[in-house]
Amino acid sequence: MAHAQTEAKPIVEREQALDWLRQMLVIRRFEERSAMLYQRQKIGGFCHLYSGQEACAVGSIGVLRDDDYVITAYRDHGHAIARGMDPKAGMAEMLGKAAGCSKGKGGSMHFFQVDRNFMGGHAIVGSHIPLAAGFAFASKYRGDDKVTLCFFGDGAMDQGALHEAFNMAGLWKLPVIYVVENNMMSMGTQLHRHSAVLDLTQRGGPPYGFSASIAVDANDVEAMAEVTLEAANRARAGEGPTFIEAKTYRYRGHSMSDPMKYRTKEELEKARERDPISLYEVVLRERGWVDDESLELMQAEVKEQIDEAIRFAEEAPEPELDEVYTDITVSPYIPQE
């Protein structure tokens, strides 16, 4: 596995590194406060939290261009924020408000932001994987050099849609990067109980003629950035797709309704010893880029940013009732009632 942060020369400048640390803090706080709002029944539906996986989204999205495409599954808040979504728009969506990133019609699992080419949060396991190939197909069709970055969980490895899309992506050498965030659990079913082959790099890239199939420690934000950047460069050069197995761990259940009886407290504590945010703080301290004072200031600013997002979301108006019939078709919609 690649370990970028052990290398002599970091792949990022100080300003970028601090921005990545801040993004991870924003995502963590956004998620932990969301859990509280869910428990208070302010957030409905299913709510899948990303805590523990922050380095994966931040490192990989962090090396993309603004005109590249990003798409993910239902555990989407972290990717949206890493792609530049204002936490206000995200939190308002969680609360179902008209000011939400999907006008309150998408909810936790369906965050979208077209002006950041953030192509959504998609809630049917594996169903968005062909869409990513479609964005990449369009890039190739047009002859531009945009790259598509597609995230999914290890559970999606078992879906036929993945196999079909991977085959065509490899066949047509599409500029797409597929990242499986392997948190070792398909809902509550551990990897060894849902996958016949435990090394996902064997299931992902080689059978489909991808340009590379790489496992990476996704608790290491710079390692994640490095492999993604290499993959993006290959894609832009016409060398086709890359499969990245991002080894990670989620602290929370599959969703907020999951009591997590399938794992022990000891396992969770062990995982927390390699917390991606703490690890990065250590690295940045060693480089002299942060100290106690600057970290405390950053944490206070992040706390205020999320408090402000929650205030905004709580005060935002509900959608009007006639909004139920808008955004169904581009042409004027005629309800067939």
Partner 1 sequence: MAVMQYREALNLAMTEEMERDDRVFLMGEEVAEYNGAYKVSQGMLDRFGDRRIIDTPISENGFAGIGIGAAMVGLRPIVEFMTFSFSYVAFDQLVNNAANMRYMSGGQFSVPIVFRGNSGIAGNLGATHSHRPEALYAHFPGLKVMMPSTPSDAKGMLKAAIRDDDPVIFIEHENLLGDKGEVSEDPDFVVPIGKADVKREGSDVTIITYSRSVITSLKAAEKLEEEGISAEVLDMRTIRPLDLDAILNSVTKTHRAIIVEENWPYCGIGAGVADRIYRAAFDELDAPIQRVTAKDAPLPYNRRLELDMLPSVERVVEAVNQVLYR
DSSP 320: P
The reply to whether 103 sits near partner 1 by the rule CB under 8 A is yes
Q: How far is the CB of 46 from partner 1 (least distance, A)?
A: 14
Can you tell me whether residue 117 is helix, strand or coil? coil
The reply to whether 321 sits near partner 1 by the rule CB under 8 A is no
The answer to whether 278 and 55 have CB atoms below 8 angstroms apart is: no
Q: How far is the CB of 10 from partner 1 (least distance, A)?
A: 34
The reply to whether 77 sits near partner 1 by the rule CB under 8 A is no
Residues 133, 180, 212, 224: which binds partner 1 (CB under 8 A)?
Answer: 133
178 conformational bin, left if phi > 0, alpha if psi -120 to 50, beta if neither: beta
* Residue keyed to tokens 């197909």: 137
Residues 130, 188, 207, 209: which binds partner 1 (CB under 8 A)?
Answer: 130
The smaller minimum CB distance to partner 1, of residues 209 and 285, is found at 209
Residues 33, 110, 234, 247: which binds partner 1 (CB under 8 A)?
Answer: 110
Span of 53-61, 99-107, 245-253, 255-263 interacting with partner 1 by CB under 8 A = 99-107
The smaller minimum CB distance to partner 1, of residues 25 and 162, is found at 162
Please give the Cα distance from 181 to 262 (Å, whole number).
19
Q: Which of 153, 247, 279, 222 is nearest to 10 (CA)?
A: 222
The reply to whether 326 sits near partner 1 by the rule CB under 8 A is yes
CA distances from 233 to 64, 83, 226, 321 (A): 10, 19, 11, 47
Rg (CA), the chain: 20
Residues 128, 203, 250, 254: which binds partner 1 (CB under 8 A)?
Answer: 128
The answer to whether 120 and 73 have CB atoms below 8 angstroms apart is: no
Residues that bind partner 1 (CB under 8 A): 69, 100-106, 110, 112-114, 119-120, 122, 124, 127-138, 141, 160-161, 163-165, 167-168, 171, 326-331, 333-336
